[in-house]
Chains A and B, each alone.
Chain A
Amino acid sequence: MSNNMRLTLKIWRQGGKYKGEFVTYKLDNVNEHMSFLEMLDVLNEQLIANREEPVAFEHDCREGICGTCSLVIDGRAHGPMKGTTTCQLHMRHYKDGETIVIEPFRAKAFPVIRDLVVDRSSFDRIIQSGGYVNVNTGQAQDANAIPIEKDQAGEAFDAAACIGCGACVAACPNASAMLFTSAKVSHLALLPQGMVERKKRVLEMVAQMDKEGFGKCSNVTACEAECPKEISVGNIARLNREYIAASLASETTN
């Protein structure tokens, strides 16, 4: 292990003077304890010192929970480590002299804003279309009024753990948002509080997802492999069941 690794970075630059191209940078003195984003901070400090435009990339919590960081690293959304966001990736997993290719999350529904930053507000609009329980402040009954079986609550939690990062979309050859959408559908459908509106919810969320221009799911399951929160493709199966049941129900009532 070394404290002064030298790395070559090939970074996608788009906006300002860049039309959309890879630019190569050399970086010395990379410490193995640095996080991947701290390594990019060092690069940016270097660029600023040379009065060049720093590389734009998004990040906030830097502890794997806000879903802001993105980056496709050497072809993999959030980099090589399983169950790890880009911000949690550390340089100890790289070797001196390596070349690293860094790109944004690419998808039609995630237009590039600049360099490595993309617009993921399509995810917000999917939630706005129905990813909630219709309950006003003050309408709730006592929290312990409805017991929920521990495992069932745990399963709902597993789905609710999605951080809305969009890696599933970036990893999918069709740029489908099924894993994200199904995680929300499952989270709420698994709880008694969310069950009441489960039919309407799944229909509306799927409709919005299609409208945003996400692709169709063809069961490649690359999404599950790259999801930093290890959201299961079992949720997609559940969404499909919910969707079919809801479509049938709406046909009979129409």
Chain B
Amino acid sequence: MAKAIALDTKLDSKIPPGEMSEKWTKYKGSVPLVAPHNKRRIDVIIVGTGLAGASAAASLGELGYNVKAFTFHDSPRRAHSIAAQGGINAAKNYRNDGDSVYRLFYDTIKGGDYRARESNVHRLAEVSTAIIDQCVAQGVPFARDYGGLLDNRSFGGTQVSRTFYARGQTGQQLLIGAYQALSRQVHLGTVKLYNRHEMLDVVVVDGKCRGIIARNLLTGEIERHSAHAVVLCTGGYGNVFYLSTNAMMCNTTAAWRAHRRGAFFGNPCYTQIHPTCIPVSGDYQSKLTLMSESLRNDGRCWVPKKAEDCNKHPRDIPEEARDYYLERRYPAFGNLVPRDIASRAAKQVCDEGRGVGTTKLAVYLDFADAIKRFGRDTIEARYGNLFEMYEKITGENPYEMPMRIYPAVHYTMGGLWVDYELMTSVPGLYAAGEANFSDHGANRLGASALMQGLADGYFVLPYTIGSYLSKEISTGAISPNTEAFEAAENDVKERLNKLLNIGGKQSVESFHRRLGKIMWDKCGMARNAEGLKQAIQEIRDLRKEFWSDVFVPGTNNEYNPELEKAWRVADFIELGELMCFDALNREESCGGHFREEFQTEDGEAQRDDENMKFVAAWEFKGDGAEPELHKEPLEYEVVKVSQRSYK
């Protein structure tokens, strides 16, 4: 019998009552509405215009709210969402292969290693189908078959084909769809777009979020913007590891500043390490490139059985001397096991000395069999652009040589803690998309981030935000000329000045790289208590060194990318410490969080459902003070919690 985890009075997840499959329908039927003439008098700030932000801004604009949308990019179309390759899941069951809302829900809960909130995940599966309809109506050119109907592919962790895709550029096409919807609202005047503006703080007045402080990145001007609600759609924080598959500018600043102002941070240690990325080639390396998971549909992972074969040309290693380790260990799912499992398996064979390539930190992903079976043309039609990308970077042709791949940081399941309505622990402050912690538990399934971002923005927030805003209709316009705004503005200016005036000797980049190394070595694919304790100390030392020896050129009153980067790296350093705290606290292995002390005999993650079946929501207690842990117990009403097996 599992012990009950005590309810925390500061955490109300607001899960609606009733049967799992009816919660969302009932919620929508009873949530208070804001009448059209009142919506015009309500201001909403959306920070971030990636999939989550663009879809939210467009949808709220269509509803008639006054929306201000902020992005630090020069255009919404540049958001990191643009880089998603493989696809987007939806429970359409167009294949007639047994898919259903329940199965998508179940796969997501299981894939997340039983650490996600059931009610949110069920809603996600329910709205997934409408996303595909919406995108097609916008003109998203999804892949089609010869009958002119939509095509699907399989992704890891599932036994059905439910992934919709647009060649290898699904994120690009979905983002362009959302960007166009957003542009339409800009044209209609319901959304005002602030590009090249970076949010550097949220403003909380009498316990409610009432606006943001933003820096105009062209002029350096610090601006106050007020609103009745603020939604952060600011993406994930994988770049805390320095090297990741995230775009260079992805950062934690918005989420971290919100955290410092009272928003709890949920499960910060849950990081997804993606199994198929191009390996690191040198110390000048600035980022890592993902090779889409869809490649595992046709590519086979292997390493030589014997370490002494590792320097041979792969084509000279005969079949019987190869270890197709995923197919061997997980016959039911083979190369399509979930990401956390595939990554760990790759690390294990490399740790055994059987890695390949110059660094010996790589495994083969081989298409020879698939090319034999389907022909080169078919493989080219499926993955042509990915093969080309691989060749551009490595100078090797994957039609002839197996790809060399290694795991890399890719996605962060952790993020701002939100309730069922996507509201953080600060009233009026919401978080959507990768920025929140909500739907993927301890491991995200492939093609589910795009689904979640668009679900949040198109179909969830437009309903749930009304529940709060319906109580704001008599508030009237919020003035930015109040003490709280002034104080926040001054804090921002002071911190900027401090950064510019340190005048030390080391570059921002060098600090970021050092932070990344600590995180990857001690809070990466495998973690242990001792390493995490060391990491916390090392990060604290690094933070001190940063604030006394960083060099930031230029001034505040101009376009100054180094200053932007310095602020972001300073926030990453603080977040890194919290991640290590969380990883140390979570005394179990689950999903992407692998604590070496907690594993089964055959090296699989060992959960502790009795003591650890909760969301860790951390409260900021001031610089130098330890963060306070709040626990949201996870109740499983529908899915039976069991040891995850893909064998």
Contact = CB atoms under 8 A, between A and B. Distances in A.
Given A51-B553, A140-B130, A147 B284 contact: no
Contacts of B562: 48, 54
Question: Which of A54, A66, A88 has the most chain B CB atoms closer than 10 A to its own CB?
Answer: A66
Contact of B132 (A66, A138, A143): A143
B75 interface: yes
A107 to B, nearest CB: 15
A150 B509 contact: no
A137 B551 contact: no
Interface in B484-517: 507, 509-510
Given A66-B83, A67-B77, A150 B148 contact: yes
Interface stretch (B165-173, B199-207, B428-436, B589-597): B165-173
B180 A131 contact: yes
Contacts, number: 208
B311 interface: no
A139 B137 contact: yes
Size bin of chain A's contact surface: 35 or more
Q: Is the interface of A mostly helix, strand, loop or mixed?
A: loop
Interface in A133-149: 133-144, 147-149
Nearest to B381: A154
A31 B144 contact: no
A187 B139 contact: yes
Given A66-B82, A66-B247, A194-B139, A148 B282 contact: no
Interface string A29-63: 00101110110011001001101111010111111
A47 to B, nearest CB: 8
A132 B138 contact: yes
A84 interface: yes
A140 B73 CA distance: 30
Question: Which of A49, A61, A124 has the most chain B CB atoms closer than 10 A to its own CB?
Answer: A61
Contacts of B180: 127, 131-133
A140 B135 CA distance: 8
A220 B313 CA distance: 47
B17 interface: no
B54 to A, nearest CB: 11
Interface in A70-127: 84, 88, 90, 92, 113-114, 117, 119-121, 123-124, 127
Given A31-B282, A137-B59, A143-B150, A45 B509 contact: yes
A134 to B, nearest CB: 7
Contacts of A156: 139, 141
B508 to A, nearest CB: 8
Contact of A148 (B55, B58, B80, B148): B148
Nearest to A37: B286
A35 B149 CA distance: 40
A191 interface: yes
Nearest to B132: A143
Interface of B: 55, 58-59, 62, 73-80, 82-83, 92, 94, 130, 132-139, 141-150, 166-167, 169, 172-173, 176, 179-181, 183-184, 186-187, 193, 195, 218, 247-249, 281-282, 284-287, 289, 389, 392-393, 395, 458-459, 462, 507, 509-510, 551, 553-554, 558-559, 561-562
8 contacts: A66-B247, A120-B74, A137-B55, A143-B132, A144-B150, A154-B141, A160-B141, A187-B139
Q: Which 8 A-B pairs have the closest CB atoms?
A: A147-B148, A132-B180, A140-B137, A140-B133, A157-B141, A143-B136, A137-B59, A128-B183
